[in-house]
Amino acid sequence: MTIKVFGHKSPDTDSTGSPLIWAWYLSEVRGQPAEAKLLGEPNTEAAFVLKKWGVEMPEIISDVAEGDKVVIVDTNNPAELPASIGAADVIQIIDHHKLTGGLETKAPIDITIKPLACTATIMHNLMGPNDGKMTDTIKGLMLSCILSDTLEFRSPTTTQQDRDLAEKLAKELGLSVSDYAAEMFEAKSDVSAFSDAELLRMDSKEYAVGDTKFRVSVLETTAPKIVLDRKASLMETMETVAREDGVDQVLLFVVDILNEEATLLVPNELTKTVAEKSFDATVEGDSVVLPGVMSRKKQIIPALKV
C-alpha cells in the first residue's frame, strides 16, 4: 500500500515541501512507496516554490480512508488533520510543534518532535548519511522550507542547525540565501487575488484559551500596507469566518518581515483584552503594533490570555 504523507490544513511552504521531501525519501531511499498529499490549496509562497523547483503540485485530499497508511508531518494536532484521521493507520509523525494530544493510533509508531524551526531540518537529521542522495530538487524544497519557517533566520524559532543547513544547501545549489529568500517573500506578499475570508484562513490555526476558541491567523509579508489597507473589510469578515468555523474570535497578526514586528487588528473588546493582557500593549484604535513579534509558535500562541 502506498503511504500518504501530508502536513496540516492551509498548507504553507513547510507543509507543502516537507511531504514531498519525505515521500521522496521513503520511496527512493527506503523502498517504501509513498506519495505527498495536501490538505488544501498551498499559499502563494508555496506555489512559487513548487514552480521554482519544477515540482507538480501534490493531489489535494479532503479526508483519508480506513486503513490508509499515513505519515503526518509539520503538525500533530487532530484539529489540523482530516476528520477520519483516527481511522487511518498513522505510522509516523515528524514535527516541530508542541505535543497537542488527541491522536490515537492503531499500533506503536515512530514519532520525532524536535525544537527546531522547520520540519525539513528534522527530516535532514533523520536521513543521516543518506542526505547525500538528495537531488537538487529535494535540496531546493528543503532550503525553501527552512527559509520560510525561519523568515530568513529572523524568527526567534531559528536554531543554528536550521541556519547551517540552509547555508549549506544554498551553497550546493549555487544560490544566494538573501536573494532567494527575497523572491520567496515577494511571492508570499502577493495576496491581491485572495478574498478577505481566504486571507483570514490562509495561514491559521485553531487554539483555545480556557473556554474561548480562537482562529489565530498570521500573514507574513514584506508589504504589510497591502493587507492593512483592507483592514476595515477584514475586520468585518472576521465575524463571518468565526461563525462559520465555530470559534469565538479570529485574531489576525500581519507580520512585517523586514521591520520585524506584527500588527494585530483589534475589531472589538475581546481582541483588545487579548492584546493588552497577552502582549502588555496599549491599544488605541483598531490595531496595535507589536515590536519583535514574528512567531505564532513561540511568541503568539504561548502568550495568549483572555
Q: What pLDDT is attached to residue 129?
A: 97
pTM of the model: 0.94
**What's the pLDDT at 159?**
98
Torsion angle of C-alpha atoms 193, 198, 202, 204, degrees rounded to 10: 160
Q: What is the pLDDT of residue 69?
A: 98
Predicted confidence band of residue 304 (pLDDT cuts 50, 70, 90) = very high
pLDDT of 103 reads 93
How far is the C-alpha of 147 from the C-alpha of 118, rounded, in Å?
A: 9
42-83 pLDDT, tens per residue? 999 999 999 999 999 999 999 999 999 999 999 999 999 999
Answer whether 133's CB lies under 8 Å from 152's CB. Answer: no
- Quickly tell me which residue has 525561519 as its cell: 150
Among candidate residues 196, 180, 205, 198, the one with its CA nearest the CA of residue 48 = 180
The SS3 assignment for 207 reads strand
Position 109 confidence tier, pLDDT thresholds 50, 70, 90: very high
pLDDT in tens, 35-53: 999 999 999 999 999 999 9
pLDDT computed for residue 36 by the predictor:
98
pLDDT tens-digit series, residues 166-182: 999 999 999 999 999 99
Amino acid residing at 121: T
Helix (H) or strand (E) holding 148: helix 136-150
Nearest to 294 by CA among 170, 179, 185, 209: 185
Least confident of 26-35, 122-131, 199-208, 287-296: 199-208
Q: What are the Cα distances from residue 294, in Å, to 96, 154, 160, 206, 216?
A: 17, 8, 18, 18, 13
pLDDT tens profile 188-238: 999 989 999 999 999 999 999 999 999 999 999 999 999 999 999 999 999
Q: What digits encode the pLDDT tens for the residues 244-268?
A: 999 999 999 999 999 999 999 999 9
pLDDT above 70 covers a percentage of the chain that reads: 100
Q: What is the mean pLDDT of residues 114-133?
A: 98
User: Mean pLDDT in the chain?
Assistant: 97
